Amino acid sequence: MSGFDRLSVKPGLPPMEAKLVEALPTDAGWRYEPKWDGFRCLIFKAGDEIELQSKSGKPLARYFPEIVTAVRARKDDMIVADGELIIPIGDHLSFDALQMRLHPAESRIRRLARETPAQLMLFDCLVGEAGESLLDRPLSQRRRALEQLHVREATPAFRLSPYTEDPDLARQWLDHAGGALDGVVAKRRDGVYEAGERAMLKVKQMRTADCVVGGFRYAAKSREVGSLLLGLYNEAGKLDHVGFTSSIPAEARPALTKRLEALSEPPGFTGNAPGGPSRWSTDRSGDWQPLRPELVAEVRYDHVTGNRFRHGTKFLRWRPDKAPEQCRMDQLEPEARPAQLATTLEGAS
């Protein structure tokens, strides 16, 4: 018999999720929380049995032994809480460091846990101190239970994510948070925990960058442009490949293809180039056309990982007024240190 059988809320519970919206709701009854850039994680504790569960339901405990140790050290006999695993390194949150934990070698995981320890940013409590389920309780009550859980044994491994009921302040978080946040989530103050449902609303943090178009790829089934390859100049003055955009209107592709073909000239990227040794390489990485570094495009993006856009970007406009050499890597630096940001947000909530 598993110790988890004693829990009123058991492992396997799908987390409550958020629906992406364009703008935060501003009518009464909403609370706003930062959406941290990390791994979603539900923690379950029943005595000495600990489970860390990912958003998809997979176990995370073996990859974050320092969090397991911190949970086990707590005097609370039963804990079920919702949060986000993050790894602060220097001035920013490192999503790369999180991904490096998903490794089969236990020795490597243990070493990384010592060198780059993770933290758990808590934002919801699903059982009370006596072990009763809080799933049907309003958010305001679950938050009080979370604050009591946190204050009983505050440790560096656990942080209490702040909240506000001021929509103007929530919008300021989006504007000034830099790379520390994934966005802002809106939850009903009287809302219950709807496991597996998109019952929250989320506005993603989007930023823009001016990039040099250092190359392009043809579309898979035509000789028209399929995607633009984007570059930024590094400190050594070399043009590094940082991502791509494929959001090109269909009606613009024929003329753009001719324009790009007229600029076709190696090497395109003089620093890190598509097809070079990196974990982003694919079978198609070498199938690209280099360009003279003359075109500058403004794109919108959400996250940066390892000096690259983590996802595809959205093309916004051409920037003929911008010199290519002005498009530097420093555009991608985080605008706020995570620790400072958390302290600021906590003070405002």
Structure confidence by residue, pLDDT tens digits, 117-156:
999 999 999 999 989 999 999 999 999 999 999 998 888 8
Domain containing residue 237: CATH number: 2.40.50.140
Condensed to tens digits (0 to 9), the pLDDT of residues 210-222 reads 999 999 999 988 8
Instruction: For residue 304, give the nearest of 205, 214, 202 by alpha carbon.
Output: 205
Domain boundary among 177, 205, 233: 205
Is residue 179 located within the same domain as residue 278? no
Backbone angles phi, psi at 209, to 5 degrees: -145, 145
Contact 307, 242 (CB under 8 A): yes
Question: From the CB of residue 272, how many other CB atoms can be counted at a distance below 10 Å?
Answer: 18
Condensed to tens digits (0 to 9), the pLDDT of residues 83-114 reads 999 998 876 778 889 989 998 899 999 999 99
35 is known as an active-site residue: yes
Instruction: For residue 331, give the nearest of 204, 238, 242, 219 by alpha carbon.
Output: 242
Range of the domain at 153: 3-205
Catalytic residue among 19, 35, 221, 258: 35
Confidence of residue 286 (pLDDT cuts 50, 70, 90): low
Is residue 274 located within the same domain as residue 170? no
Domain boundary among 190, 205, 220: 205
- 310 within domain boundaries: yes
**To the nearest whole percent, how much of the chain has pLDDT over 70?**
90
H helix or E strand, kind and range, residue 261 = helix 253-262
Is residue 190 located within the same domain as residue 232? no
Calculate ∠ Cα 185-130-153, nearest 5°. 65
Q: Residue 183 — left, alpha, or beta (φ > 0 → left; ψ -120 to 50 → alpha)?
A: left
Our separate counts of H helices and E strands in the chain read 7, 17
DSSP per residue, 292-342? -TT-EEEEEES-BSSSSBSS-BEEEEE-TTS-GGG-BGGGGS-SS-HHHHH
Domain containing residue 158: CATH number: 3.30.470.30
As for how many domains the chain has, the answer is 2
